[in-house]
Chain A
C-alpha cells in the first residue's frame, strides 16, 4: 500500500514539474508550483516527517504561491515565446542532473541506522531529551533548545527579509486623490500607513477573486 502511494505521489510530482516547465501562462505555472509544494508535503508525511510537511504546505503551497501571484500582478501573465532549445543551457542542465543523480548513489539507504545522521548527535538527543527537556515533540526540543542558536539565527534572517523587502518595495505614500506624493514627501519612512488609506479598498490585480469581475 505504501509502495502504491509512493509511486502515485512521485509520478504526480514529476508530471507537475514537467507541466510547470511547459506552461507559457505564468498564472497557471504559479498555481502548479503551489500544487508541487502540496504534493511534496504529502511526500514528507509518507516519509514520517510531519513537521517538515506542515512547513512545506503552509509556506510552499500557501504564502509563496500568493507572493508569486502578487509578483505576477506587477509584471505580465504570459511568458514571452522562448527561442528554440539552446545547446549551452541544455548541456549545463544535463551535466548538473547527471552529477546529482551520481551523488544520490552514495547516499545511505532510507532509514539506515548506521548512516551519519543517526550516529552523530541525533542518538544523543533521542537519549537525553526526554529527561533533559521533557517535551514530547523531540523536533521542538531540538529546534528550540538544543539548536536554539540556529533558530534565533533563522528568525533574524526572516526579520531581515522583511527589512529588505520594505526597503526595496515600499510604495511612496499616496495623497487624498490616490496619487503618489512628490519625491520630497516620499522620503517619509512611515510609508504604508498612509499609502493604503486612499483608493477603493480592493486589491486591483492581486485579488484572485477579482480577475473575472474586472472584465
Chain B
C-alpha cells in the first residue's frame, strides 16, 4: 500500500469509473467506438492501477492468478465455441445468422456480442497476467538481493 495520500485517494475515486467505462466500451461497441479489445484493456488498466497503488497481493485477492489464467483461455473458447455452435446449427463457422433463423440480423447481433465478450475476457485477463508476471518478478529480484 502506497503511503501517498493523493495517489491513494485519487485512484480510489477513479477505479470504479474506469471499470464502469470498460463495461460501457464492451457493451456499447455495436453502437459507438469500442469493442472487446478496448474494453479488455481498459478493465485491465483499472485492475493494474489497483495493483500499483494497493499492492500485488490485493490484486491477486481480487483477481486470483488461477482465475485469470482460466479466464484468458475461456475467452478464446467462447469465441471459437460460437463458431462451432453455428456449425452445429447448420451454418458455417462464425456464421452468426443461423443463431436466430427467422431474424438473421438478430443472430448477427447476438454473435457479435458473444465473440466480443470472449475477446474482452481474454484481453483483460492477459493484460493482468502480463503485469502480475513482471511485478512478481521484481519482488523476487528484490528478495534475492536482500
Interface of A toward B, CB cutoff 8 Å:
50-51, 53-55, 58-59, 62-63, 66-67, 70-71, 73-74, 131-137, 139-141, 143-145, 148-149, 151-152, 154-156, 158-159, 161-162, 165-166, 169-172, 174, 178-180, 190-193, 195-197, 199-210, 212-213
Contacts and interface: CB of A to CB of B under 8 A. Distances in A.
B108 A135 contact: yes
B134 A70 contact: yes
A195 B65 CA distance: 10
Nearest to B3: A213
30 contacts: A51-B38, A54-B33, A62-B42, A63-B48, A63-B130, A67-B130, A70-B134, A70-B135, A131-B105, A133-B109, A134-B106, A135-B31, A135-B109, A140-B29, A141-B108, A143-B35, A144-B116, A155-B118, A158-B122, A159-B122, A166-B69, A169-B133, A170-B133, A171-B133, A171-B137, A171-B140, A192-B65, A196-B132, A201-B55, A209-B52
Interface in B25-40: 25, 29-35, 37-38
Contacts of A152: 76, 79-80, 83, 94, 115
A169 B108 contact: no
B129 A166 contact: yes
A65 to B, nearest CB: 10
B134 A67 contact: yes
Interface residues of B, number: 76
A66 B29 CA distance: 25
Nearest to B93: A149
Given A162-B126, A204-B142, A213-B3, A140 B52 contact: no
A72 to B, nearest CB: 10
A158 to B, nearest CB: 5
A209 B105 contact: no
B115 A197 contact: no
Given A135-B30, A166-B133, A202-B1, 12 more contacts: A51-B38, A63-B131, A73-B138, A137-B31, A149-B93, A159-B122, A159-B126, A162-B126, A199-B143, A201-B56, A203-B56, A210-B2
A196 B139 CA distance: 9
B64 interface: yes
B98 interface: no
A178 B65 CA distance: 18
A193 B66 CA distance: 7
Interface in B99-142: 104-106, 108-109, 111-112, 115-116, 118-119, 122-123, 125-127, 129-142
Main secondary structure of the interface of B (DSSP, over half): helix
Nearest to A202: B55
A132 B108 contact: yes
Nearest to B32: A137
B1 to A, nearest CB: 6
B89 interface: no
A66 B50 CA distance: 12
B115 to A, nearest CB: 5
A200 B1 CA distance: 9
A59 B38 CA distance: 8
Nearest to B127: A63
A66 B138 CA distance: 13
A164 B34 CA distance: 27
Given A54-B33, A170-B133, A63 B139 contact: no
